[in-house]
Structure 1
Amino acid sequence: MSALLTPLRLAASEARRLMAGTMPKLAVLAMALIPTLYAGLYLFANHDPYGHLDEVPAALVVLDEGTTTTDSVTGAETERTFGEDVAADLLDDGGFGWVETSQRDAEAGVRSGRFDAALVIGRTFSADLVSSGEFEPRQASLTLITNDANNYLAGTIADTIVGRVRDAVAQEVGTEAADEFLRGFASIHTNLADAVDGADRLLDGAQELADGAREADDGAHTLADGAGRVADGAATLDAQVAPLGDAVTRLDDGAQQLDDGLGTLEDATASLPARTRELADGAQQVADGDAEVAATGRQAADAAQQVLPALDGARDDVDAALVDGLDALVADGTLTRDQADAVAADVADRVTPALDERRAEVADAVGQVSDASDRLDTLADGAQRVADGAATLAAATPDLADGIASAADGAGRLADGTAQLAGSTPALLDGVARLADGTAQVADGAGDLADGTTRLADGAGDVADGTGELRDGLAEGLGQVPDVDDDTRTATADTLGNPVEVRDQALTSAGTYGAGLAPFFLSLATWIGAYVLFLLVRPLSSRALAAGRSPMAAALGGWVVPAVVGAVQVTVMLGVTTFALDIAPAYGLATWLFLALVSVTFVAVLQALNVWLGAAGQFLGLVLMLVQLVTAGGTFPWQTIPEPLRALHHLLPMSYAVEGLRQLLYGGSLATALGAAGVLAGVLVVALSATAVAARRQRVWSVTRLQPELVL
């Protein structure tokens, strides 16, 4: 118990000494208020500087000449003046006290200090903002004029304000550009839908062409079959009339012998009129058949002649649809004219040669059909001449019979007639041979026509298949082009214009600028309060040392009085901070206890320095305050300080004072605050122990103690 009472008695003795007289009492009171004055005045002056930025003069210069934008869908033109919009927003609520003026006045004002900053919106600001929509992108710029000779932080704050302006403008322009882009997609979707409808109609026409080509192919094959049968008949006729020459020769010879065998000849030629009539009838049938074949050939030729115009019309429709689709893509900005021309050239390189080749094949088939039709007409004419000759022969045969009956009277005439018959028979034979050759040629032409129409049918099928692929490709492309409603388009444009939303999720919040600096300045004020105490309070009682008191009792006796005054200091300081400055701690009692621990720890550190080093220790306390001012991390994060000073952050006690007060003032981690308190308590114990060691050493007086080199 006596060991505990000794420090208290020493402390009471020191307190009576301090209170002996009015001036000492006033001095103690002043020392108790110094931390409050320091921290209170500084926190009051910096309580909410951002709330008064509207009183900071700043110049605003608007040179923007505006621009005209054209809606890519409707074609409507709109006058845009983004510079005036930015100026209106800044004048309405733009942070600083903006004053709109000329560029010359703004520059002069910033140079003289009449304005802390100036913002210049250039002449091409609006035109540059919309330049991306014209595929001539240029960055719009804002010129910020600052002068650090006026105020460095004013320039920094101006940078922040202009950055927010830039973000707002970028969001607005980006949203408008995204909306224009999505509206262009809607236009493309509509045009593609029209293209799909056109491809459907083109496909129907191509299928009709293919059906017609197949029908022409069937007709051509039927014609080829008929022509083959006619050729076979003509060949049979040629074979049958071949012996006619020999018969006429023999007839001529027999006419010379008519006188000898006239009776026999009359019996043999009794059926000649009927046979010649049959020959005439057969020749007429052949002529009629050839005429029908020629008519069928002409019909086939006419049908073939209609194939080329239909094919050319289908090709023209495909070319027109391709040109219209490319023009629409160029008009809505999806493709440039060069890109569209490149697509058209690519299609021409790949599709046109194939179509030209198919058309050449069809044209060749049409020519063959026309040639075959001409040959069929020639065949029909020859067959008709044969029929006419056969009819003439049939008409002359009765006369021959009569002549034979009157052989006696007309033997000479018969000889003449048989001579004439012998002379005309080679022509008949030649006509029949030409008939056989002509019908064979018709059959060959009809076969070629059948082959050509087959190729035509195949080509028409390819056209139909290609058109179907075109229609399917357009339909697939249509499905891939977004078609959104107005609400979705607007929401999408807003998201593209401002794709990232920053949500503040503060685990703790200081509230104001002053509250944010409070942990640092409360800690610094506590150190200053402890420092000034030892200008008045003796760190160690010489009487206690002379009386042989224990070193620890002497150390505690010199520590208790400044520790109590320090506790009073932080109590007054925390009260003013809480109730006058409205910086209320989240953990009130814990904050007061922690501040009291900080105060008594700082008192112990400064006591140890004074006991060990005397006046030099008092000066070192001031140096430590300056070092801790930059290493405690009270303003900027301690990680930003240079490496030689960064290591001191973990060694000096004010770092832990700031850390603990942050947790307690803002409602942070109590465990972190408790850890900081543990470190400070350790520092307190080490400092008191160091003071006790010094007290033991000071029991022996030395020349230096009797006559110190430096006295403060």
Structure 2
Amino acid sequence: MTNPFRIAAGEFRRFRGPLPKLALVFVTIVPLLYGAIYLAANWDPYGRLSQLPVAIVNQDQPAEAQGRTITAGADFVTELKSEHTFDWHETDEATAQNGLRDGDYYLVVTVPQDFSADLVSGQTDHPERAGIEIRRNDANGFVIGTITSSAQTKIEQAVDQSAVKSYFDVVFENLSKIKTGLNDAADGAGQLDDGLTKAHTGSGKLAKGSSDLATGAQKLETGAATLSSGLDTASTGASELSDGLATMQDKSAKLADGADQVATGTQQLTDTVLPPLTQLQKSLPQLKKNAQSAGTALNDVADAAAGGTQSISDDLGQADTELARLETKYPELKNDPAFGRLSDRVGSASDRANKIAGAARQQADVVSGITDGVQNNITDLSGSITSAKKDLNQLNKGAHQVATGNHQLNTAIATAATGASSLSDGVDKASTGADKLHTGAKGLSDGADQLKTGSHDLDNALGQLSDGAGTLHDQLTTAAKKVPAVTGDQQDQAAQVLSSPAQVTMHVDNPATYYGRGLAPMFFSIALWVFGITAFLILRPFTGRTLLGRGSAFARQLGSWLPAGLLAVLGGLLTIGTIWLFLGLDPVRPMALIAITVLGAAAFSAVAQFLRMTLGTVGSAIMLVWLIVQLASTGGTYPAAVLPQFFARMNPYMPMTYLIDAFRVTISGGETAHLVRDVIVIGSSLVVALGLGTLTMIKKQRLAVGDLHPPLEPA
């Protein structure tokens, strides 16, 4: 049995009876069930968005603009309903939110109450961006967000166009006002030019005056510096004067006390000396007489003591002579102590009498001289006493005047000290003020310099402004002439164009057109792979007769694969035919689509047959895991560039990658080179799978004793 078709026919003959045949039919339509049912359900979901219930909540309040009532919210809702993009339901906020939560609505579009006011605010000095709130609930289906995301863009575009159109309506309505305003501005610019010319003349004078001011301010700064320095010196002198006067006040107080003491002393001197002087002056005549009497008496005493024969000295001389005669007469008296003492006493008395006499004469001479002097000067002494009394009275009076003057001096010095202290404080303040004056004068000088510079700059700038104002006048006049006078129809047309100045056109190469048509390549590929997993639930990857048969191993391998391959091709063609006929697949390369379907079905079924023949049930498990990996890495829904790095790297090594790409090229169009590459890779997969299956077939032909049933036992 080396004919592959006979091997395949033998496998099909196993299915006898209704149920086995029904199972065979079921395996054949697995690709149709998997691919067609899903694609039929999701072929064109965007084309049925008009059946999607969406709530509209209009809270907008009308606004006034340019004397018109703007109801942008109501107009917006009317416009949405007229487009029938969704199944619109206008309702209130509470009903809309409850419906979104319960799944009755898939979107809630809310127009806020300040929508109209914000739209027309573009015509004011404080424009505000109008807002529309769109809310969805992913608990009702996450994919609905992808489907409805375009609605947000369309709503934003509609709102922006409406706002811009309203703005340009106002702009064009005000063109005549703008033209009038430009003419008025041109006239104003002319007047400004005239005024600036005059201002330029005045600024020249200001520049000259500011130069003079700067010079004067410099002099003021110099004088203020000199004044500040002088007042600093004066402050030091005033402080020293104040200290000196304070010292003088203390000293003058002590001087006043001393003068008081002097006055008291002179008063006491006067009170003490004047009475004796007065008495002395009165006693001078009697003193003169007494002096004369004293002189006479002293002379008499001298004469009595040592004068002639009647004097004491003479008597004592005679007594001494008598004692000497007694001693001579009585020699024994010489040794008598009493006589000796008597003799000595008489001698001593004689000597003393002589001395007294001499002294009396001497004093008599003195008294005589005094008496003569008194007698000669008594008149002068009386005059001197009178003069001394007068001088003493004047001294006493002067001492009291000095005491009074010292008190007055002390009071005056105290007053002067207070004034000097005030002067010192005032000079200090004046010095501080002079410092501030100097600082201010310096600031004034700097400011005057800046004013000088600024005034010159102002003069230059005013000249430039005058030139600019003339140019502005000319340009505004020209601009006013260029402002067009448009009609109402022209305004409407221009506003519509400017509200949407650019039309963006999307050109799609090789368009898929429908959502399901774009997903068909991936689901066709998955369906053929799933067939390989399910087919060998009822088909055998090989039979025992195939192993025991003669002929080439490749022919036997081909015959073992052929039942699954034929059913896979039939199921694949049935799937694309059904989608083509009932959903409008409309491939751009019909024959290539059929060919790639046949090639893909053959390759995937060969891979499944090889794994099942080699590994048994484990091979089917590997097919399932491999399918899951390919779903994540082949780029059926998202391109490989956006996949995680692990799956992106696996993409080129997955056979489904090339079958999906081949289906895309044949259904929607694309590069022929890609299709050729895909055919080569898929065809190579078929050849490799059949080759590996042949090697497995050869290996399995080598039977071991354990492979025989019943096992052979030795005799």
> Into which bin does the TM-score normalised by the smaller protein fall?
0.5 to 0.7
Moved more, 505-514 or 657-666: 505-514
Which residue is equivalent to 1:39?
A: 35
Q: CA deviation at 1:617?
A: 0.4
SS of alignment partner, residue 698 of structure 2: helix
Unaligned runs of 5+ in 2: 207-461, 710-715
Which residue is equivalent to 1:508?
A: 510
Of the three residues 660, 676, 686, the one matched with 1:658 is 660
Which residue is equivalent to 2:499?
A: 497
1:632-658 per-position Cα deviation (integer Å, ceiling 9, x unaligned): 222222332222122222111111111
- Structure 2 residue 2 is the aligned partner of structure 1 residue 12: no
- From the superposition, tell whether residues 476 and 34 of structure 1 become closer, same or farther in structure 2 (CA, over 3 Å): same
Of the three residues 538, 552, 555, the one matched with 1:553 is 555
Q: State how many pairs are aligned.
A: 451
Which residue is equivalent to 2:60?
A: 64
1:308-363 per-position Cα deviation (integer Å, ceiling 9, x unaligned): xxxxxxxxxx36xx8xxxxxxxxxxxxxxxxxxxxxxxx97x54533558999xxx
- From the superposition, tell whether residues 58 and 10 of structure 1 become closer, same or farther in structure 2 (CA, over 3 Å): same
Which residue is equivalent to 1:25?
A: 21
Q: CA deviation at 1:560?
A: 1.5
TM-score of the pair, normalised by structure 1: 0.58
Q: CA deviation at 1:471?
A: 5.1
> Contact 1:107–1:145 (CA<8 Å) still a contact in 2?
no
- Structure 2 residue 153 is the aligned partner of structure 1 residue 139: no
Letter in 2 for 1:590: A
Cα distance in structure 2, aligned partners of 1:577 and 1:90: 34
Which residue is equivalent to 2:483?
A: 483
Cα distance in structure 2, aligned partners of 1:703 and 1:655: 44
Larger radius of gyration: 2
1:58-113 per-position Cα deviation (integer Å, ceiling 9, x unaligned): 2111101121112xxxxxx1111211112112222242212111111111221122
- From the superposition, tell whether residues 511 and 465 of structure 1 become closer, same or farther in structure 2 (CA, over 3 Å): closer
Unaligned runs of 5+ in 1: 71-76, 203-317, 323-346, 361-462, 708-712
Q: CA deviation at 1:596?
A: 0.6
1:208-246 per-position Cα deviation (integer Å, ceiling 9, x unaligned): xxxxxxxxxxxxxxxxxxxxxxxxxxxxxxxxxxxxxxx
1:45-66 per-position Cα deviation (integer Å, ceiling 9, x unaligned): 1122222222222211110112
Cα distance in structure 2, aligned partners of 1:26 and 1:492: 70
Cα distance in structure 1, aligned partners of 2:128 and 2:188: 40
> Contact 2:183–2:476 (CA<8 Å) still a contact in 1?
no
1:569-590 per-position Cα deviation (integer Å, ceiling 9, x unaligned): 1221122111122222111111
Moved more, 189-198 or 39-48: 189-198
SS of alignment partner, residue 133 of structure 2: strand
- From the superposition, tell whether residues 50 and 703 of structure 1 become closer, same or farther in structure 2 (CA, over 3 Å): farther
Q: CA deviation at 1:592?
A: 0.6
Of the three residues 100, 111, 127, the one matched with 2:101 is 111
Letter in 1 for 2:582: A
Which residue is equivalent to 1:51?
A: 47
Letter in 2 for 1:37: L
SS of alignment partner, residue 609 of structure 1: helix
TM-score of the pair, normalised by structure 2: 0.58
> Contact 1:10–1:541 (CA<8 Å) still a contact in 2?
no
SS of alignment partner, residue 6 of structure 2: helix
Cα distance in structure 2, aligned partners of 1:508 and 1:32: 31
> Contact 2:176–2:485 (CA<8 Å) still a contact in 1?
no
Which residue is equivalent to 1:646?
A: 648
SS of alignment partner, residue 691 of structure 2: helix
Cα distance in structure 2, aligned partners of 1:670 and 1:351: 79
> Contact 1:148–1:155 (CA<8 Å) still a contact in 2?
yes
> Contact 1:9–1:557 (CA<8 Å) still a contact in 2?
yes
> Contact 1:178–1:497 (CA<8 Å) still a contact in 2?
yes
> Contact 1:121–1:143 (CA<8 Å) still a contact in 2?
yes
Cα distance in structure 2, aligned partners of 1:667 and 1:357: 80
Which residue is equivalent to 1:603?
A: 605
> Contact 1:584–1:665 (CA<8 Å) still a contact in 2?
yes
SS of alignment partner, residue 680 of structure 2: helix
Of the three residues 656, 676, 679, the one matched with 1:677 is 679
> Contact 1:54–1:97 (CA<8 Å) still a contact in 2?
yes
SS of alignment partner, residue 119 of structure 1: strand
Q: CA deviation at 1:139?
A: 2.1
Q: CA deviation at 1:467?
A: 8.6
Of the three residues 75, 78, 81, the one matched with 1:91 is 81
SS of alignment partner, residue 154 of structure 1: helix
- From the superposition, tell whether residues 552 and 468 of structure 1 become closer, same or farther in structure 2 (CA, over 3 Å): closer
Which residue is equivalent to 1:563?
A: 565
Letter in 1 for 2:160: A
Of the three residues 162, 175, 181, the one matched with 1:191 is 181
Cα distance in structure 1, aligned partners of 2:185 and 2:142: 63
Q: Give the share of equivalent positions with the same residue, in percent.
A: 29
Which residue is equivalent to 1:427?
A: none
Cα distance in structure 2, aligned partners of 1:694 and 1:129: 76
SS of alignment partner, residue 54 of structure 2: strand
- Structure 2 residue 199 is the aligned partner of structure 1 residue 353: yes
Q: CA deviation at 1:474?
A: 1.7
- From the superposition, tell whether residues 641 and 467 of structure 1 become closer, same or farther in structure 2 (CA, over 3 Å): closer
Alignment of 1:27-426 (within 5 A): 27-70=23-66, 77-181=67-171, 187-193=177-183, 196=186, 318=191, 351-356=197-202
- From the superposition, tell whether residues 37 and 496 of structure 1 become closer, same or farther in structure 2 (CA, over 3 Å): same
- From the superposition, tell whether residues 163 and 358 of structure 1 become closer, same or farther in structure 2 (CA, over 3 Å): closer
Letter in 1 for 2:145: G
Cα distance in structure 1, aligned partners of 2:706 and 2:141: 51
